[in-house]
Structure 1
Amino acid sequence: MANLNTIDASEIEKFQAMAAEWWDPDGKFKPLHMLNPCRLSYITSQIAAEFGRDLTTPHPFKGLRILDIGCGGGLLSEPMARLGATVVGADAAERNIPVARVHAEQQGLDIDYRHTSAEALVEAGETFDAVLNMEVVEHVSDPLAFLSACHDLLKPGGLMTCSTINRNAKSYAMAIIGAEHIMRWLPKGTHEWSKFITPDELYELLSKAGLDPVDRKGFVFNPISWSWRLSERDLSVNYVTASVRPS
C-alpha cells in the first residue's frame, strides 16, 4: 500500500524558520512591520467606509471576501482574517505561500493562500469585495494590464487599495539610497526607480483600468519618532490610493 503521508518534517522545519523571519519585527522585513500599522489604519478605514462597517465590533468585515495580492508572509492577510473577512492571499513568489500557511496555522487562522497571479484568478472567475494591492504595482512588467486584472477581480461597487512609491529625486534618495544602501532595510536592487509611479500617473492608470479613484494619502516616515504616519498632503515618497469599481 502506498505511503499516504509524504510530509517531510525537515522541510516543514525550514518553512517554520522562514516564517519566524517573515514575522520577526527586527528581521529582514522590519520596514514592512514598521509601516504595517499605518497601512492597516488606511485599509480598514476605507473598507469600513465603503461597506458601512463598524470597526469597534468584534468581526466588522464578516461576509466580505478580500484578496491580498502579493501577500508575502501574510502581514495584511492575517489582520483581515481576524476582522472576520474571508481572505485569499495570492503571491507570484512560490516560496512565500508555505511560509504564510505555516504562520496562519500557528495563529489558528483559516486563510486561502495560493501561488498564483491576478490574471490567473481572473481566468478562474474569482471575484472579491475588496482587493489589497500594496507595494506590488512598481514590481510588475505592465502596470495597466495588472490594474485591469485587479479591476476584473472586483465585484461592482468593490474597493481596491493600492500603494506604491512616487518617482522623484526625494524617492530615489529615500527608497533606494537610504533604504537599500545606507539603512540596508532592503536588499540592493529591490526597487527600480524608473518603475516608480507618480500619484497622477497612478490615478490615470486606475481610470484607464475602469476604476474610480476616490482617495489618496501619503505614508510619511518620521526619523525622530522612528514611525510612519498618514498625510493628507505629503505624497512625495510612499503613498496609497483607494479606488472603486463602478456599480
Structure 2
Amino acid sequence: MTETGNRGGTATAGEIAKFDALAADWWDPRGPMAPLHAMNPARMGWVARQLGPLDGLRVLDVGCGAGLAAEWLARRGARVTGLDAAGAALEAARAHAAASGVVVDYREGRPEDLSGEAFDAVISLEVIEHVPPEERATFCAALARLVRPGGAVVLSTLNRTPRAWVTAKLAAEYLLRWLPVGTHDWRLFPRPAETAALLRGAGLFVEDMAGLSPRLGGGFAVTRDIGVNYLVAARRP
C-alpha cells in the first residue's frame, strides 16, 4: 500500500512509520486494511488482464506492503519481487508468504535505488498518493526504467475529487473507522490527468484506465467511474 522510507527521495519517514504501525493487522480482512481486501479481487483481475499470461512473468510490486497483491500474482504463476521501504510491513509479508507456502522475493528499498534489473511488468498499487508530489516524476521514471521494453506499468490510486474526500477520507477514516485517521491526505490524491502526464513524462504510453466502485452486495467491481478509485495501465515502447 505504500512506498515509504527514511532517507528522502520518493519516500518519507512519516509514511514508513504510518504503515509499519499497521503491519501486524495487514492480513486481517476485517482490520485496518479491510478496504484493500475488499477491492483486491477486482483490482488484481484488472491488473492481470493488463499484464497478460502470468505464468513465469517476472513482476516487480513497488510499495508491496505486506504482500496482498504480490501473493495474488505469485499464486497464479508469476515470479514476483516485492519492494517496500517499510521494514515491519515486509516482515509481515515474509511471515505470511512462508506460512502460506508462497514464494515472493521481498526486498527493502525504493525503486530509484534498484539497479541492474529489468522486469516484464511493474505494478504500484495505492502508492503514488503517498509519494511527495515533487518526487513523483522521479518515482514514475524509476518504474519506467525497471520495466523491459514492451512491458506494462500499472498504477492504482485515489482521485482528488469531492466524492473521494467524502468516501476515502471522511467516511473511511472518521465515520466508519476502516482506516486510522491520517492514513491519507486528500490534497495529495493525484487526478487521472496528472497521473497520466507523469507516466507519459517517464516515456510510457498510457493504454487504459478504469475505476473501482463498491458493489451493493459487498466487494468492488471494475467500472468506468474514476471519481474515487482508479487504475492506469501504461506500456514502455
Q: TM-score range by the shorter chain?
A: 0.7 to 0.9
Q: For 1:127, which of 118, 137, 145 is the aligned residue?
A: 118
SS in 1 for 2:68: coil
The answer (yes or no) to whether the contact 1:19–1:102 under 8 Å persists in 2 is no
Which position in structure 1 is the counterpart of 2:33? 29
Can you list the C-alpha shifts for 1:203-233, whole angstroms capped at 9, x where unaligned? 11110111100000001123x323211112x
1:242 correspondence with 2:233: yes
Which position in structure 1 is the counterpart of 2:94? 101
Q: For 1:171, which of 161, 164, 171 is the aligned residue?
A: 164
* Cα distance in 2 for residues equivalent to 1:96 and 1:228: 24
TM-score, normalised to structure 2, is 0.87
Can you list the C-alpha shifts for 1:3-33, whole angstroms capped at 9, x where unaligned? xxxxxxxxxxxxxxx8773222112211110
Which position in structure 2 is the counterpart of 1:195? 188
The answer (yes or no) to whether the contact 1:68–1:88 under 8 Å persists in 2 is yes
How far off its partner does 1:83 sit? Answer: 1.3
The answer (yes or no) to whether the contact 2:60–2:81 under 8 Å persists in 1 is yes
Determine what percentage of the aligned residue pairs are the same residue: 43
1:39 correspondence with 2:30: no
How far off its partner does 1:64 sit? Answer: 1.3
Between 1 and 2, higher relative CO (CA 8 Å, sep ≥ 6) is seen in 2
The answer (yes or no) to whether the contact 1:165–1:238 under 8 Å persists in 2 is yes
* Cα distance in 2 for residues equivalent to 1:204 and 1:155: 20
* Cα distance in 2 for residues equivalent to 1:230 and 1:173: 20
How far off its partner does 1:45 sit? Answer: 1.1
The answer (yes or no) to whether the contact 1:86–1:111 under 8 Å persists in 2 is yes
Which position in structure 1 is the counterpart of 2:142? 149
Closer/same/farther in 2, CA of residues 115 and 214 from structure 1, 3 Å limit: same
The answer (yes or no) to whether the contact 2:173–2:179 under 8 Å persists in 1 is yes
Which position in structure 2 is the counterpart of 1:84? 77
| Greater radius of gyration (CA) | 1
Listed as ranges, the gaps of 5+ residues in structure 2 are 1-21
Q: For 1:110, which of 99, 103, 116 is the aligned residue?
A: 103
The residue identity in structure 1 corresponding to 2:124 is N
Which position in structure 2 is the counterpart of 1:139? 130
1:205 correspondence with 2:198: yes
SS in 2 for 1:95: helix
Can you list the C-alpha shifts for 1:186-214, whole angstroms capped at 9, x where unaligned? 11111111111111111111101111000
SS in 1 for 2:87: coil
* Cα distance in 2 for residues equivalent to 1:96 and 1:127: 24
* Cα distance in 1 for residues equivalent to 2:83 and 2:47: 18
How far off its partner does 1:168 sit? Answer: 1.4
How far off its partner does 1:63 sit? Answer: 2.5
SS in 2 for 1:87: strand
Listed as ranges, the gaps of 5+ residues in structure 1 are 1-17, 54-60
Q: Where does structure 1 differ by over 6 angstroms across 4 or more consecutive aligned residues?
A: none
* Cα distance in 1 for residues equivalent to 2:166 and 2:112: 33
TM-score, normalised to structure 1, is 0.83
SS in 2 for 1:76: helix
The residue identity in structure 1 corresponding to 2:222 is L
Closer/same/farther in 2, CA of residues 194 and 19 from structure 1, 3 Å limit: closer
